[in-house]
Amino acid sequence: MPETWIVKRVLDWTVGYLQRKGDERPRLSAEWLLCYVTGLSRVEVYTHFDKPLTADELAAMHEAVARRGRGEPLQYVTGEMPFRHIVMRCEQGVLIPRPETEILVDAALEGVDAALASGVAYDDVRRRTAARTGSKRAERDARLAELRAALVPNEDGLLDERAVDEYLREAAALEAEAAEAPLGVRVLDLCTGTGCIALSIASERPGTAVVATDLSSQAVRLAKHNRDTLGLADAVDVYECDLAAAVPAELMGTFSVLVSNPPYIPTAVLERDVPPEVRDHEPHLALDGGPDGLDIFRRVLDLAPRVLAPAGWFCVELSEDNVEAAADLCRIQGGWRTVEVRQDLTGRPRVLLAVREEA
């Protein structure tokens, strides 16, 4: 009689196996893989200890554990990574989003809000947003008509309370949506990778028009996939190019925010000090920043004055070892009203934020 592999047994075996393979967080890895294979949440893993895995689940778990045991990042094994309020599709060949990058998004959103507060708006962006919200409004109007038709009194002349409540909720949502003024701010995201920065900005500030670029055709394809999956095709344009080479000329100088997470690890550090899980599996194109880690940053900095509108925000993620040097390069370049360095979630200096002078 074949052995029965229940959740607890699989969890315990996987923890031990990954521990022997040198996984720094074997229990977290085991939980994540079990969730991926079974569809259970992390809480449900512990409340369904006696649940047997199916033959297909066991086969999938075996393959996933073997890949993790070889040092492959969990995000590549499971194919996804939660980032802020969205979930990104991940795959070999494209940089995995990091929690630290969420601080970079915070800075970029501040720039969007500052531009809105100062009255920045472009008519074409507003029209684009209005068309998108108009389409959604038409769908909601049709839904309201459907709900209204269902409000038929019973034989006592009374309406069903649940149907009335649902109608009122939908009507309130429509009214709130109609009251939202279309925004008109533009953001440029260079070296977009999975698109996590661009898509977070677009999803958290509806009405913002985002342009994202990447040199990697695989990254561009993945970013477009993530964009379409999240329903943000009308808000985010993705171009395959070297930095801003494919950005339409008429948009140059109109971006309220330039944000980037470029390659910033010094070559020697990448070869010597970066964990094998990163060095051996993630794309060097997205990691190697040259001798001091600032090769790509210097090019982005040169672009910034041509890309940004007056008072535009320049937000870049860099290494704790070179972000201060990058800030000095901004000061030397001139034209910046403020230049500062912010800390990441672990308290390390990581995000460069500079604001252009007014016109």
Residues 6 or more apart whose CB falls under 8 angstroms from that of 32 comprise 42, 74, 78
Judged against a pLDDT cut of 50, whether residue 333 lies above it is answered with yes
Q: Which tokens hold the place of 258?
A: 């330039």
- The reply to whether 101-121+183-356 shares the fold of 7-71 is no
Among 64-78, 90-104, 215-229, 271-285, where is mean pLDDT lowest?
271-285
Residue tagged 């449900």 (tokens): 44
Residue 253 neighbours by CB distance under 10 Å: 13
Parse the chain into domains and list their residue ranges: 7-71, 101-121+183-356, 130-179
CB–CB of 326/332 below 8 Å? no
Task: Give the CATH fold of the 101-121+183-356 domain.
Answer: Rossmann fold (3.40.50)
**Closest to 342 in 3D by CA, of 327, 330, 357, 358:** 327
pLDDT at position 82 is 86
Separation of alpha carbons 71 and 93, rounded Å:
15
Does residue 279 carry a pLDDT above 70? yes
The per-residue pLDDT of the chain, averaged, comes to: 88
Q: Mean pLDDT lowest for which of 101-110, 139-148, 180-189, 294-303? A: 139-148
Most confident range, picked from 32-41, 120-129, 242-251: 242-251
Q: What whole-number distance in Å separates Cα of residue 345 and Cα of residue 311?
A: 27
The CATH superfamily of 7-71 is Ubiquitin-associated (UBA) domain (1.10.8.10)
Reported as type and span, the H/E element at residue 256 is strand 255-260
- How many Cα atoms within 13 Å fall on the side-chain side of residue 257? 34
- What is the C-alpha to C-alpha distance for residues 271 and 280, in angstroms, rounded to an integer? 10
Cα four-point dihedral sign 186, 253, 287, 354? negative
